[in-house]
Amino acid sequence: MKRANSGVTWIQQGHVDGFLRALAAAPSISHEALDDLPGVDRTRSYVRGLMVEHDVLPARDERAIRYGQWAAAALARLQSDEHRDVIRRYVRWYHQRRMNEMTSVPDGTYLRSKQSVTVAIEFLNWLDDHTLRLDEIAQEHVDAWIADGPSTRKFLDRFLPWAVKSRLVRPDLQVPAHRRGTSPKFSKPAQDDAVERVVHTNELSARDRAAAILVIVFAQQIEDVIKLTWGDIAIVNEVVTVSLGKTTFALPSPLDGPFRELAAAPVLTAAHPRDNWVFRGYSPGRHITGSSLRISLKALFATRAARLGTLHELTKLGPVPIVADALGYSTTTIERHAIGSAAVYSEYIASIKSVGAPGRRPPEVT
């Protein structure tokens, strides 16, 4: 480290010192040895990340490992052995099977998989409370359970299709589909205000301002933002460019400011001695997680509402295939937003025509 002070301060903490002493006394260095050592899990994860980053240990997918540990503990929340076996199969043959096919399990997949199992456990416990067997339930039971709780109960739509496919329930059972176009999105004035605050105030750090620009100006999903590397961004003299989707965009001033600040102050630490992430995370060698970045940007806007509002406006500016390719979206997704923005525009035209109809006063010009 160029500055050892922070590293020394970290080592001198009691829980870190104790963990490192236990590690030094271990008969071997392996992932399994780290798993068995006593200590704080956060310290264990950080030390493991350092050892992987500096080639002491081979890399492994920590989210997949943590998910398996979480799922094993979650089984204890089930009230019956029969349903415990159902969830065990659901975890193994649906969620863990999908994770095993991935090179690296994304943070979003990890969190959604936990939520999906949690909702399934709550549903099966509800069946036990009402003395219902899984193979006996009808659509009215599914509807009653969803209607009598929070909106997250609709995440049963991940468990129920698996149960149908596994022939555990009737094949006609379903969870009411989410209606597209009902998610909240920023209005144009709200977008303009958010952009103004991002580029002309210091409410956020340079890192968070750069991420906010990619969301509110270019409608990028957080999961794509966090994966950007300095290979995707070029700073040549007066021009800053960023590659998104199939297009490289030049960032005019003042949008380029946060990216120049980040590039001018690279921070090489023991946790990040060589990685190329634009948005570095706390864990060694890893980028920031989507959930952490969403929390950081929450002071200015909800990232989903901001992104949807931007897409709504951008689809008015060009043909669907061009917008889709430029921003890295599928044409189907952009088509849905284009239809929505066209519908709003049609309503506006209709209202103007009705104002100009006979017997109506024309609008005042202000």
Confidence at residue 351, expressed as pLDDT on a 0 to 100 scale:
46
Provide the pLDDT confidence category of residue 180 given band limits of 50, 70 and 90. Answer: low
Q: What is the CA radius of gyration of the chain?
A: 26
Q: 265-317: per-residue pLDDT in tens?
A: 776 678 887 778 999 888 888 889 888 899 999 988 899 899 988 888 888 88
Concatenated DSSP letters for 57-113?
S----HHHHHHHHHHHHHGGG-S-HHHHHHHHHHIIIIIIHHHHTSSS--HHHHHHH
Q: Is the pTM of this model over 0.85?
A: no
CA distance 295 to 103: 26
